[in-house]
Amino acid sequence: MKFVKMHGLGNDFIIVEASSWSDADRMQQYARLVCDRKFGIGADGLVVIGKDIDMDIFMRIFNSDGSEAEMCGNGIRCVAQYAYERNMINHSKISVRTLAGPRYPEIIFAGNRIVAVRVDMGEPILDCPKIPMQCNDGNIGVKVNAAEREFVVTGVSMGNPHCVIQVDNIDQVPVELWGPKLEQHEIFPAKTNVEFVQIINRDEVIMRVWERGAGITLACGTGACATLVGCVLNGVTNRKANVHLLGGDLFIEWDKHDNHVYMTGPAVEVFTGDITL
């Protein structure tokens, strides 16, 4: 199997091609193996892409634990750059079919060089049953008891569920302890991604993430989008902000006119190879 290893701010992926959306099913069984950092190639996820019958391309994401994710912000930037550089598409604005619905990345150039990918991530989902999240009085400021403490969380879906928590000092957050307890909390029936956020100012935040199905990662694109939405809903940031992650920065915008969230950041190819499964 030929593959390409790519990353978005250190959130890394193995990208392979399949002939169709349904053909990608056969790759899920290999996700754990190829993503294993000791016995495989090593990655946070296996991303399968190909030409789509209705859109330019499709992408499906299998986490390192073998589960399938609805969407991946860093992954879709890698997919867009991969498709453009390998002539799967010949235009800079791309339509991508995902499990969370259509998404629209745009390749950003400086001269002839790709410098970033900007993605229309669609509208955030704030309705509790659709996140999904069990809450009676809305998705903002919900109190959750986990890891022997109480958290105040804001639930947001960017096609996949997120739990955004504001903290005073990001360096004092034991993500590896609190993250899995919140991911699997009963209030989130489909489990959840967990974002811990320290506010620097109204245009700048620091985020650390525990990803559903992958654990601690260096960056999470949908998480950065959910973080900005959660911060705006709580009145602590403007609608545009830089989100600082362990692997680098993402610029996130929540447009008040179309209600869509836009994410801009890099994608990097690391190496190519061939693996026998």
What one-letter code names the amino acid at 25? Answer: D
Give residue 187's identity as a one-letter amino acid code: I
Identify whether 174 is preceded by a cis peptide bond (ω within 30 of 0).
no
Kindly list the catalytic residues: 72, 220
Contacts of 180 (CB under 8 A, 6+ apart): 210, 215
* Alpha helical stretches, state H, 36-125: 73-85
Whole-angstrom distance, CA of residue 189 vs CA of residue 210? 17
- Identify the CA nearest to 210 among candidates 6, 11, 70: 11
Rounded CA-CA distance 156/128 in Å is 8
Helix (H, G, I), strand (E, B) or coil at 216: strand
Rounded to whole angstroms, the Cα distance separating 11 from 217 reads: 6
Q: Is the dihedral of CA 127, 133, 137, 142 positive or negative?
A: negative
What span, in angstroms and rounded, lies between the C-alpha atoms of 275 and 59? 20
Burial class (CB in 10 A: 0-12, 13-18, 19+), 81: buried
